[in-house]
Structure 1
Amino acid sequence: MNMILLRLVGISTAIVLALHASMSFYADLVRPNFRASDLFSGEIPPDKAKLAAAGGLASFSWDGDLLANYAAAMATDVLHRPAADALGRASENKAAQAAVVAALKVSPIRPALWLTLGTLQAQSGEAATPAVKMSYLTGAVPIDVAMSRVRTVTSGAAASDEEIRLLAQSDIRSALANRSRYEPLLVSAYVQATPQGKSLLLETTKVSDPKFNEILRRY
C-alpha cells in the first residue's frame, strides 16, 4: 500500500514538474521583449497577435517578467495607438491599468512600471500622484524615463506634492546634464506644465542652470 502511494506521489510530482517546465518554456516563447522603460524611449511595442498570446498566459501566470513586459506592451499600445472613440480609449486604458497593477502585485520593485501606471492614470483623469511617488521610491530609472517622469509630474497634481517636488529635482538635473539632447523636451514640459509644475522647473533650473532658467522664462 505504501509503495503504491509513493508511486502515485512520484507520478503526480513528475506531472506537475513537467507542466511547470512546459509553461516556463511557453512563457519564454510568448513573453514580449518589451520593458516598461522601452515605453518612454520610443521603442515599438509587439504586434497585437503577440500581445494576445502573452495575454492568454499572463492571465494565470506568476512570472513577474512576463506580467511586467505584457503590461508595459499593453500600456504602450494604449498610449501610442489609442482607439478612435472615447469609449474605446477608456476601456483600453482600464484594461492596461489592470494589467500593470497585476504585474506590480507580483513584482513591485519596478519604478518604470509604476510610472507607466501613473501615466495611464493621468491620461484618464485619475489621481496619479501615488503611482508617480512609487516610481521614485522603488529605484533608479534611465534618463529617458526620468525625462518622461518630469513631464508627468509637472503637468499634473503631482507637482503640488512636496516630497515629489524634492525627488523630481534630480530628474530635472539629470536632463540638464544632457541639455543638448533634452532642452527641447524640458521647454515642452514647461509650456505644458501647471503653475506648480512651472515653479518646480524654474526653481530647479535657477540653481542648476541659470542660463536655461532665463530661456524658460521667455515662454
Structure 2
Amino acid sequence: MRADALRRREALIAAARELFLLHGDAVALDAVAARAGVGIATLYRNFPTRQDLADATACAVLEDMQLAASEASATFAEQPDATWQTFTDRLVRLQLGSVIPALSHDPEASLAPQVAAAQQRTEQAVEAVLAQARDAGLLRPDLGATEFVLAVAKVGQPATVHAPDAFPGFDTRLMAMLVAGMRPDGRPLPTPTAEA
C-alpha cells in the first residue's frame, strides 16, 4: 500500500475510533469520512462494509492495548507502583469503548478471524500484567481481565456532563479512584444482580 493510501486508511480508523466511542456503531459512515478528511468513496474502497471498519478499528485498539501491556510487563518488576499507574492511565487514553461495535455481535455469529486473534493476544498480554499486579498487592485476586478491561472502557467513555475548567484531568483522577478500589482488602466483590 502506498504511503498516502496508508495515511488515509489510518485517518479513517482514527476517526472511527473517536466517533464509535461517541456514538456507537450507529454513526453515519459519511461522518467518519468527513472527520478523516476524505470522501465517502475512499472509505468504501478501504472498508466495503460497516463491519469491516468496525473490525479494523477493534484491531487497532486491541493492538495498542497489547503494546501497552507488553511494555508494562517489561518494567513491572522494577517499578510496580509507577508501572501500574502508567498502564492504567494509558488504557484510559486508548478509547477502549471504540472496540464495542466489533465485539458486540450476535452470539450465534463469530468474530472476524483477525479480531478474534487480536483479542486473544491482547487478553493474554493484559492478564500477564494483572498477574504481576496481583503478586505486587496492587490488584485484588477476584478481579479478572474481562472485568478490568470493561471497567477501564467505562471510565474512558465520554461524560454526559463536562466540567473541564473545574476538573482538569478528571478521567485520570477517576481511574486513580478505580485503581485504588481494585486493591485487595479481603472482601469479595459483590455478585452482579439482574437489576444492576
TM-score, with length taken from structure 1: 0.28
Decide which structure has greater helix share.
1
Greater relative CO, 1 or 2 (CA 8 Å, sep 6+): 2
